[in-house]
Amino acid sequence: MTRIKAAVCTEFGQPLQIEDVELRAPQMGEIEVTLEAVAICHSDIHFAEGAWGGDLPAVYGHEAAGRISAVGASVSDLTVGQRVVVTLIRSCGTCANCASGKPTICEAPDTGASPIARPDGTPVKKAMDCGAFAERVVVHQSQVVPLPNDMPPEAVALMACGVITGVGAIVNAGKLRAGEDVVVIGAGGVGLNAIQGARIAGARRIVAVDMTEDKLETAKTFGATDGVLATGKAPWKEVHKILGRGADLIAVTVGAIPAYNQAPRYLGWGGRMVMIGMPHSGAMAEYEPVVLAYMAQGMVGSKMGDVVIRRDIPWLADLYRQGRLKLDELVSGRWSLDQINEAIADTKAGGAKRNVILF
Q: For the chain (length 359 residues), average pLDDT per consecutive 10?
A: 96 96 96 97 92 92 97 94 96 93 87 90 94 97 94 94 96 97 95 98 98 95 97 94 97 95 96 94 91 95 96 97 96 96 92 90
Q: What structural domains and CATH numbers belong to the chain?
A: 2-159+327-358 (3.90.180.10), 166-302 (3.40.50.720)
Bridge partners (DSSP) of residue 4 are 21
Coil vs helix vs strand at 257: helix
Alpha carbon distance, N-terminus to C-terminus of the chain: 20
Is-above-0.85 flag for pTM? yes
- Using CB atoms within 10 Å of the CB of residue 358, give its burial: 0 to 12 exposed, 13 to 18 middle, 19+ buried: middle
Q: Say what angle helices 189-201 and 213-221 make with each other, to 10 degrees.
A: 40
pLDDT in tens, 310-328: 999 999 999 999 999 999 9
Number of separate helices (H) and strands (E) present in the chain: 11, 18
Task: Report which residue type is found at 71.
Answer: V
Helix (H) or strand (E) holding 320: helix 309-322
Q: Helices (DSSP H) in 34-145: which residue ranges?
A: 42-49, 96-99
- φ and ψ at residue 233, rounded to 5 degrees: -70, -40
- φ and ψ at residue 145, rounded to 5 degrees: -135, 125
Q: What SS3 string covers 271-302?
A: EEEEECCCCCCCCCCCCCHHHHHHCCCEEEEC
C-alpha to C-alpha distance for 251 and 270, rounded to whole angstroms:
15
Q: Are 329 and 192 in contact (CB under 8 A)?
A: no
C-alpha to C-alpha distance for 16 and 80, rounded to whole angstroms:
31
C-alpha to C-alpha distance for 210 and 229, rounded to whole angstroms:
5
Task: Report which residue type is found at 274.
Answer: V
pLDDT in tens, 4-24: 999 999 999 999 999 999 999
Q: Are 310 and 98 in contact (CB under 8 A)?
A: no
pLDDT in tens, 286-309: 989 999 999 999 999 999 999 999
Q: Are 8 and 22 in contact (CB under 8 A)?
A: no
